[in-house]
Structure 1
Amino acid sequence: MHVAHLSLTDFRSYPSVELALGPGVTALVGPNGQGKTNLVEAIGYVATQSSHRVAADAPLVRHGASRAVVRASVIKEDRRALVELEINPGRANRARINRSPVSRARDALGLLRTVLFAPEDLALVKGDPSERRRFLDDLLVARAPRYAGVRADYDRVLKQRGALLRTALSARHAGRRNGHRATRRAADESGFAEAGAGDVLSTLDVWDAHLARHGAELLAARLELLEVLRPLVAMAYAALAPGSAEVGLSYRGTHAGGEDGEAETTAERAVLEERLRARLLEVRDAEMERGVTLVGPHRDDLLLSLGELPARGYASHGESWSFALALRLAAYDLLRADGGDPVLILDDVFAELDAQRRRRLAETVGGAEQVLVTAAVPEDVPSELTGVRFQVAEGSVTRVG
């Protein structure tokens, strides 16, 4: 799989740009702030419909423009597909495949698969649990795009259940008379217009069932993914840092009990659904006191360890980098095993690595069908990664080798 052509309109700093690409290694070289990362970010966006740099779409649209358009011509096994995404902040994004509109933008997921390495990856080890949850969920969607729908369904239920909890909390503080009206507003928002103050608990029962059902599907998929990912991460880390402590990965689920949750071992969906429902009942009083959903995949964590110690807080800078790279390399190996090399994107990564890790990473990824590298100076591109080179400066992209 590789991207043969990239076209941008009003994306980030580019009013318009056309970039012809091909298999092998392509290096985008230029001073910082000239737009190198914008180009590979656009390719990553086609694959995931999200950015590795920002959480919202608004920063992706050039200042003064109302929308951005990203087009990528993708070739897989001699078959070409044109994927077009129209980014509309505050409104639904649109997508077209081979010039034909699709009903939902996420229907374009799966036509391009990428694995992106970036300085932001250090947050996989040192950052909040949300970074690690996103890593798992993005990989799920890359392997099976239907999980984008599972995530969307879970997020929808979580939002509606949260609205009911917040209004129930307001009702409790406001008193019986005001609480009756507030609870009716929450019920209206959640689709239960007939609910009153006395119906909050029964309404929560309904939303508990929805949350447990969609949450169990997402949980089961994460746990199954972790089983196949674990040995790949261990092998990748050993290759990057031979002789180092063994790495470990475990899943901490809030549904498993305890203040912070416990490591989960089963991936049986029915069992997980029952545990979720039971745990939601246990914490209901606390949820109504705080107005938030305290149990579910949105609060879980992927625990990373080096030897007997948690990587977060104990791993050195070099060990953290090796762990983050191992996670990405494992994702690459897994996607490749599923069929077809994903596009590898190395966004200003080599400048962050010492000579040993730089060489080992370059040797590991050099055989991929397509590798896209960004670097501030030519010396940051390892000699093992030779190929086409573009100079990026002042909004222009010029081939130089």
Structure 2
Amino acid sequence: MIVSRLSLRDFRTYDRVQVPLGPGLTVVHGRNGAGKTNLLEGLYFGCTARSCRTSNEREVLRFDQAAARIEVEGHDRDGDHTIAVGFQPGEDKRIKVDGVPVARLLDAAVRPLVSVFLPERLELVKGPPALRRSHLDAVITALWPGRTANRTAYRQALAQRNALLARYKHGRGGREALAAWDLELARHGIALRDDRAQAVALLQDPFAEIAAELGLTGAGELRYRPRTKATTAAELAAELAERVDSDLERGFTGHGPHRDDLALLRDGRELRVYGSQGEQRLALLALLLAERDVLAAERGAPPLLLLDDVMSELDADRRALLVARITAAGQSLVTTTDLAHVPGAEDASVVRLHVTPGAVHVDAPGLRAVDAA
């Protein structure tokens, strides 16, 4: 799905605003603090029904407002589509796709795939393994939607096994029921492990190539680190059985794919530990671009790419390479404080959105300016 228009009401610093997006590159420019990232976040919220910046979604409401509404209009091979997300704290989100209520956008076939780079997302590189596991699992869902069931089934089996362990620790159950859940957990765990390994194998070569292209010195590498060495469900179940005493003492399962990690490396050293912030930024950008390429190959279309403040730390040659890559195919939105930092921003095919506090002014041939009310 190509997004053609975004509408925000009472979202962050915006009262009401409607802006067009180009089918290729859209550049959002303005001074620091004007609201560029808020606009990008609103687009992400409309495509996913969640924020890319905060877990406390009350923060997305404009001051003194009770609710926010986001609409995304676009089209695909089947025609025009509209996604509407209404958010009011304390209530379920009201989501409609083409006027039909849905419980989750994840279940909507017309939902645009979207990938986002924010400075805050450096935690994906330098933060705890849980962030990287979750991200990798989201990539798997985008690549192979049908495989989401593997992760769901594993989580359910893990929750059940942990509940049994907790009851035993508090003297309210026996250990005999664990064997059956060991096998169930192992069956889904091996499937999840294989999905992750396959996804990382697809990402490795494009990641290394793009990292070098963007200027990461040394050989870039993605390395999947599964907690288990098992190759079959029976072997993983045996590993769980060997650790059952320590699990009973702790009251939870300490072994399995829920302890896996994804390492980003340069010359064999983890960027999480040994990389500078600049190197970590390049690695994160390379990872997102590699995912975009793989998704384009597997799904037939690249995701909408949202890049916030990514040009300022690249030299002129790297900026040109990045713009050439993201404009070769697919739709992208880039924020910047200076149009000169985005090569080709003055081209007639590029939609330019100039953000001032509370308003967005459209500067592109053939497009009407739509300002905040």
Q: Tell me the TM-score normalised to structure 1 length.
A: 0.79
Q: Residue 314 of structure 2 aligns with which residue?
A: 353
Give the corresponding residue for 1:19: 19
Cα distance, 1:76 vs structure 2: 2.2
- Asked whether the 8 Å contact 2:81–2:110 carries over to 1, the reply is no
Question: In 2, Cα distance between the equivalents of 1:301 and 1:124?
Answer: 11
Percent identical: 38
Q: CA deviation at 1:107?
A: 0.9
**How many angstroms does 1:62 deviate by?**
4.2
Secondary structure in 2 aligned to 1:55? Answer: coil
Larger helix proportion, structure 1 or 2? 1
CA–CA distance in structure 2, aligned partners of residues 111 and 18 of structure 1: 20
Q: How far apart in 2 are the matches of 1:9 and 1:161? A: 45
Partner of 2:38: 38
Separation (CA, whole Å) in 2 of partners of 1:121 and 1:282: 38
Q: Distance in 1 between matches of 2:179 and 2:289?
A: 42
Once residues 385 and 327 of structure 1 are traced to their aligned partners in structure 2, the CA distance between those partners, rounded to angstroms, is 28
- Which residue of the other structure, out of 212, 226, 229, is the alignment partner of 1:253? 226
CA distance change for structure 1 residues 98 and 152 in 2, over 3 Å: closer, same or farther?
A: same
Secondary structure of residue in 2 paired with 1:95: strand
Q: CA deviation at 1:283?
A: 2.3
Aligned to 1:372: 333
**Counterpart residue number, 1:262:** none
Q: Distance in 1 between matches of 2:70 and 2:164?
A: 38
- Please list, as runs of the form range in 1=range in 2, the aligned pairs for 1:2-401 lying within 5 A after superposition: 2-62=2-62, 64-77=64-77, 79-87=79-87, 89=89, 92-108=92-108, 111-169=111-169, 171=170, 179=171, 183=172, 197=173, 199=174, 201-241=175-215, 244-256=217-229, 271=232, 273-337=233-297, 338-383=299-344, 386=347, 387-401=350-364
State the SS of the aligned residue for 2:296.
Answer: helix
SS of alignment partner, residue 213 of structure 1: helix
Structure 1 residue 330, shift from structure 2 partner:
0.6
Cα distance, 1:313 vs. partner? 1.7
1:57-91: CA deviation from partner (whole Å, max 9, x where unpaired)? 44334455554432211222372222223445555
The one-letter amino acid paired with 2:255 is V
Contact 2:47 2:72 in 1 (8 A): no
Q: Is the contact made by 1:366 and 1:384 (CA closer than 8 Å) also made in structure 2? A: no
Query: How far apart are the structure 2 equivalents of 1:157 and 1:73?
Result: 39
- 1:210 CA drift (Å): 4.0
Shift of 1:254: 1.6
CA distance in 1, matches of 2:162, 2:63: 34
Provide Cα deviations, 1:194-215, integer angstroms capped at 9, x if missing partner. Answer: xxx3x3x234334434433333
SS, match of residue 255 in structure 1:
coil
Gaps of at least 5 residues in structure 1 are: 172-178, 184-196, 258-265
Tell me which moved more, 50-59 or 334-343: 50-59
Q: Flag as ranges the 4+ runs of structure 1 deviating above 6 A.
A: none
**What code does the residue aligned with 1:247 have?**
G
**Amino acid paired to 1:96:** K
**Aligned to 2:312, what secondary structure does the other structure show?**
helix
Residues 350, 220 of structure 1: alpha-carbon distance in 2 compared, 3 angstrom cutoff: same
Closer, same or farther in 2 for the Cα pair 1:278/1:306, shift >3 Å?
same
**Distance in 2, Cα, partners of 1:306 & 1:315:** 8
Are the aligned partners of 2:29 and 2:337 in contact in 1 as well (CA < 8 Å)?
Answer: yes
